[in-house]
Amino acid sequence: MRVFNFSSGPAVLPEAVLTQAAEDMLDWQGTGTGVMEMSHRGSAFSRIIEMARADLADLLGLPSDYAILFLQGGATQQFSQLPMNRLKKRGLAQYVVTGAWSAKALEAAGKVAPLTGGRVEAVAGDEESDFSDLPFFTDEAFDPEADYVHLCTNETIHGVEMDEAHLPNTQDAPLVADMSSHILSRPMDIRRYAMVYAGAQKNIGPSGLTVLIVRKDWLEETPPDWLPDLLSYQVQARHDSMLNTPPTFAIYVAGLVFQWLKAQGGVAAMERVNIEKAALLYACIDQSGGFYRNGVASEARSRMNVPFLLADPALIPLFLEHARSAGLIELKGHKSVGGLRASLYNALPIEAVRVLVDFMTHFAKTRA
Amino acid sequence: MRVFNFSSGPAVLPEAVLTQAAEDMLDWQGTGTGVMEMSHRGSAFSRIIEMARADLADLLGLPSDYAILFLQGGATQQFSQLPMNRLKKRGLAQYVVTGAWSAKALEAAGKVAPLTGGRVEAVAGDEESDFSDLPFFTDEAFDPEADYVHLCTNETIHGVEMDEAHLPNTQDAPLVADMSSHILSRPMDIRRYAMVYAGAQKNIGPSGLTVLIVRKDWLEETPPDWLPDLLSYQVQARHDSMLNTPPTFAIYVAGLVFQWLKAQGGVAAMERVNIEKAALLYACIDQSGGFYRNGVASEARSRMNVPFLLADPALIPLFLEHARSAGLIELKGHKSVGGLRASLYNALPIEAVRVLVDFMTHFAKTRA
């Protein structure tokens, strides 16, 4: 029997996708071979990757001056790969720090900055911040000459989400966003960004795949000589993400997820459900009389990742044990912030949130 | 109906492995969730990765002073990652060039060498070589002070395999081998190497996973400050390959392959079948009266990848078309060398080679 899986990633996938993947395992569409066994340069896999790319572009409403790359290494690899490709000699990259992941991106960029001869700086967020609100920044904080300004538009650990209305005005400085944990959960205007990237293992598919969406003018500039081809956006784009063998099966599963999303009505339809799911859970927390608590300011609360605390932290092991018995798993909070966390990605059905909220209400009543 | 798949990679997988993966897809061992959906830090996936590691160590007879890492980016990433980690300032890395892949490794290392302040050089093989034999080298060609000597012990494109008897004596210079296309196909003494790596998509599992086996003393030295943590062997080892989310499903499938290999009797048993498979195909080629031709010197012929030419290259499209009708696919040679190629990895049953040889004999008779 399937349980309700609130994991922050790798995360629940649509049952229809998993069923299809199981059915195709030994023989994809009469080819006599499974997707995992196909040459990445053969016609069958070419169809798979092209369809995945086209469906993703369609879901995002992607303008034709953007390219989609399928890479490896997760978002973490992009933390280094981005400055290696785009931080210029004597250049500057600015990082808006809204939680643990944007802080990691800044740190990784700082490590490779000396290679490029550029530098990086934080424009908002500091080590004392508890990341319970969107950062306060004025437009003056941004250098219009910056090589780029980096954001993490949904912070998986701190449960902080930045919607488009809160994006900074950086004038000519191009925006880059790590959207790993909320891509495809709501309509987004990709034109606001020069580049967007996402580790697949939350809203897209299996781990081991990174989706990169990049404006084509960024691919025209040749990166430094010392940059390995595998890490060069320009070279990867020129080879259609096939400089070497890509993670073929992960791309195929992502493609099934894209088809599933289209069948659900696309990202606008997903957003309606995601708003409802998040509203149910935050209401349960806020109406618990302090038994549960989420400290994030309401306009910054993530629809995807909902961290919350118990007034009595000693009850956490019991909560997790009873939740597991009720078929609700992966509710433990990230070790750096403690407490509990429920991730409500696209593939998590609203039924799961209803069961969780009923469980939480009952647990609060019996333990308060 | 399944076909016989001679792809050089991604390549055929054991049917038993695919069947198990399909069965587990929605619910792994009663957890109520599929492997793709599991948190990489949870207890279920921990069991999966630890068992994969233990089974691989067992299959290789790995001494306890070696570590196994599960990384991303394929062998190609290692072409850059190795010198970034191990090529010292004013250091030297020597590359034995036996075919296309060792040549690529040398080229990629040359690109990043300026970052480290070291240099790289070829000890054997040059651009005029047709890579039809193992390179001639004397022990004097090797610098005992070299940071490492790199080899590709099986060249997938040129069909050249180096067995342990042909390994150079490099004195104190540590050996590193790209074993992507023949790891686990025969017993190997890992003690001969400081490091061995392999892209998974040939003899191990799905693409998107790289297996790295490294002597632990190599993990004690701290790499340069500018090296991204994700690319540091030391940091990856300290985090047990979990610095960020690893390619969990690929690791799980690799683990199923390791269990399948153990059930077959391990690498010694695989070697016996692999010798027989290769002998069948080479005999067919050599006894075709020149209709088919493999130009590799007999002591250098790969058991895994058998490239061959037709005396009349104009027959190739017909050969491929008839082969496909006979249920034999992916026999086209690599574009850089032309002709045909059959890859005979562990998961390819000997029955496939018998059918191929019968087909080739019949084709030669009717077209000679």
What is residue A46's three-state secondary structure? helix
Distance CA(B328)–CA(A33), nearest Å, equals 11
Comparing CB atoms, the residue among B11, B19, B77 nearest residue A37 is B11
Which entry of A101, A147, A218, A332 is annotated as an active-site residue? A101
Distance CA(A256)–CA(A51), nearest Å, equals 10
Express each pLDDT in A67-105 by its tens digit: 999 999 999 999 999 999 999 999 999 999 999 999 999
Residues in chain B with CB shorter than 8 Å from the CB of A79 are 228
Comparing CB atoms, the residue among B15, B33, B34 nearest residue A26 is B15
Q: Is residue B25 pLDDT above 70, yes or no?
A: yes
Express each pLDDT in B309-341 by its tens digit: 999 999 999 999 999 999 999 999 999 999 999
Residues in chain A with CB shorter than 8 Å from the CB of B31 are 3
Strands lying side by side in the sheet with A292-293: A292-293, A305-310, A340-343
Least confident interval from A151-160, B116-125, B258-267: B116-125
The whole-number pLDDT of residue A296 equals: 94
Alpha carbon of A31: minimum distance to chain B alpha carbons (Å): 8
Region A22-31: mean pLDDT is 98
ipTM of model over 0.95: yes
Comparing CB atoms, the residue among A18, A75, A199 nearest residue B34 is A18
The whole-number pLDDT of residue A128 equals: 64
Contact B250 A249 (CB under 8 A): yes
Residues in chain A with CB shorter than 8 Å from the CB of B32 are 1-3, 5, 327, 329
Q: Is residue A131 pLDDT above 90, yes or no?
A: no
Q: What percent of chain B has pLDDT over 90?
A: 93
Region B144-148: mean pLDDT is 97
Contact B246 A207 (CB under 8 A): yes
How sure is the predictor about A191, in pLDDT bands with cuts at 50, 70 and 90?
very high
Query: What average pLDDT does chain B have?
Result: 96
Comparing CB atoms, the residue among B23, B26, B79 nearest residue A2 is B26
Q: What is the number of CB-based contacts under 8 A between chain A and chain B?
A: 223
Contact B13 A36 (CB under 8 A): yes
Rg (CA), chain B: 21
Q: Quick one: three-class SS letters along B50-115?
A: HHHHHHHHHHHCCCCCEEEEEECCHHHHHHHHHHHHHCCCCCEEEEECCCHHHHHHHHHHHHHHHH
Comparing CB atoms, the residue among A10, A208, A327 nearest residue B208 is A208
Express each pLDDT in A325-352 by its tens digit: 999 999 999 999 999 999 999 999 999 9
How sure is the predictor about A125, in pLDDT bands with cuts at 50, 70 and 90?
low
Residues in chain A with CB shorter than 8 Å from the CB of B207 are 36, 40, 245-249
Region A259-265: mean pLDDT is 98
Contact B112 A21 (CB under 8 A): no
The whole-number pLDDT of residue A136 equals: 72
Alpha carbon of A20: minimum distance to chain B alpha carbons (Å): 10
Distance CA(A114)–CA(A89), nearest Å, equals 9
Q: Name the residue of chain B whose CA is nearest to A70's CA.
A: B208
Top residue of B249, B251, B331 to mutate, by most chain A CBs within 10 Å, is: B249
Contact A25 B19 (CB under 8 A): yes
Query: What is the number of alpha carbons within 13 Å of residue A81 lying toward its C-beta?
Result: 26
End-to-end CA distance of chain A: 31
The whole-number pLDDT of residue B128 equals: 64
The whole-number pLDDT of residue B129 equals: 72
The whole-number pLDDT of residue B126 equals: 58
Can you read off the two tokens belonging to residue A172?
A: 């000519």
Top residue of B4, B37, B106 to mutate, by most chain A CBs within 10 Å, is: B37
Judge contact between B143 and B172, C-beta under 8 A.
no
Comparing CB atoms, the residue among A13, A39, A112 nearest residue B10 is A39
Region B349-360: mean pLDDT is 98
Region B114-129: mean pLDDT is 84
Closest to A120 (Cα-Cα) out of A160, A91, A144, A145: A91
Q: Where are the beta strands (DSSP E) in chain B?
A: 4-5, 66-71, 92-96, 119-124, 148-152, 154-155, 160-161, 175-178, 195-199, 210-215, 292-293, 305-310, 328-329, 340-343
The whole-number pLDDT of residue A138 equals: 80
Annotated catalytic residues of B are 101, 178, 202
Going from the C-alpha of B55 to that of each of B49, B62, B196, B207, B210, the distances in angstroms are: 10, 10, 17, 19, 16
Query: What average pLDDT does chain A have?
Result: 96
Pairing of strands B4-5, B328-329: parallel
Active site residue A218: no
Q: Is residue B159 pLDDT above 90, yes or no?
A: yes
Q: What percent of chain A has pLDDT over 90?
A: 93
The whole-number pLDDT of residue B253 equals: 98
Contact A111 B327 (CB under 8 A): no
The whole-number pLDDT of residue B350 equals: 98
Contact A7 B206 (CB under 8 A): no
Comparing CB atoms, the residue among B72, B245, B329 nearest residue A9 is B245
The whole-number pLDDT of residue A127 equals: 58
Contact A327 B114 (CB under 8 A): no
Contact A244 B74 (CB under 8 A): yes
Q: Any idea which residue has 């002073």 for tokens?
A: B65
How sure is the predictor about B264, in pLDDT bands with cuts at 50, 70 and 90?
very high
Residues in chain A with CB shorter than 8 Å from the CB of B77 are 72, 228, 230, 244
Compute the residue count for chain A. Answer: 368
Region B153-162: mean pLDDT is 95
Name residues whose C-beta falls within 8 Å of residue B294's C-beta, 6 or more positions apart in sequence: B159, B282, B285, B286, B301, B306, B307, B308, B309
Region A287-313: mean pLDDT is 96
Distance CA(A204)–CA(A258), nearest Å, equals 8
Name residues whose C-beta falls within 8 Å of residue B280's C-beta, 6 or more positions apart in sequence: B350, B353, B354, B357
What are the phi and psi torsion angles at B341 (to 5°)? Answer: -155, 135
Alpha carbon of A216: minimum distance to chain B alpha carbons (Å): 23
Residues in chain A with CB shorter than 8 Å from the CB of B27 are 1-2
Contact A112 B228 (CB under 8 A): yes
Judge contact between B325 and B281, C-beta under 8 A.
no
Residue A108 C-alpha from the chain's centroid:
18
The whole-number pLDDT of residue B348 equals: 98
Region A218-231: mean pLDDT is 95
Judge contact between B277 and B348, C-beta under 8 A.
yes
Comparing CB atoms, the residue among A19, A76, A228 nearest residue B244 is A76
Region A199-205: mean pLDDT is 97
The whole-number pLDDT of residue B125 equals: 65
Alpha carbon of B12: minimum distance to chain A alpha carbons (Å): 5
How sure is the predictor about B127, in pLDDT bands with cuts at 50, 70 and 90?
low
Can you read off the two tokens belonging to residue B362?
A: 């019949």
Contact B72 A208 (CB under 8 A): yes
Q: Is residue B9 pLDDT above 90, yes or no?
A: yes
The burial of B110, by beta-carbon neighbours within 10 Å (0-12 exposed, 13-18 middle, 19 or more buried), is given as middle
Top residue of B104, B207, B231, B257 to mutate, by most chain A CBs within 10 Å, is: B207
The whole-number pLDDT of residue B132 equals: 85
Q: Name the residue of chain A whose CA is nearest to B108's CA.
A: A228
Residues in chain A with CB shorter than 8 Å from the CB of B38 are 7, 10
How sure is the predictor about B124, in pLDDT bands with cuts at 50, 70 and 90?
confident
Region B37-55: mean pLDDT is 97
Distance CA(A300)–CA(A131), nearest Å, equals 10
Least confident interval from A89-93, A164-168, B108-112: A164-168
Which entry of A28, A55, A147, A178 is annotated as an active-site residue? A178
Q: In terms of pTM, does the model score above 0.95?
A: yes
Going from the C-alpha of A338 to that of each of A157, A199, A241, A316, the distances in angstroms are: 10, 23, 38, 10
Any idea what the Cα angle at residue B208 is, between residues B102 and B20, rounded to 5°? 125
Query: What is the number of alpha carbons within 13 Å of residue B76 lying toward its C-beta?
Result: 16
Neighbours of B225 (CB within 10 A): 9
Q: Name the residue of chain A whose CA is nearest to B328's CA.
A: A32
Q: Any idea which residue has 């003494």 for tokens?
A: B189
What are the phi and psi torsion angles at A133 (to 5°)? Answer: -150, 165
Contact A27 B2 (CB under 8 A): yes
Alpha carbon of A291: minimum distance to chain B alpha carbons (Å): 27
Q: Name the residue of chain B whose CA is nearest to A105's CA.
A: B228
Name residues whose C-beta falls within 8 Å of residue B91's C-beta, 6 or more positions apart in sequence: B116, B117, B118, B119, B146, B147
Q: Is residue A21 pLDDT above 90, yes or no?
A: yes
Q: Is residue A257 pLDDT above 90, yes or no?
A: yes
Top residue of A1, A15, A17, A25 to mutate, by most chain B CBs within 10 Å, is: A25
Contact B207 A248 (CB under 8 A): yes
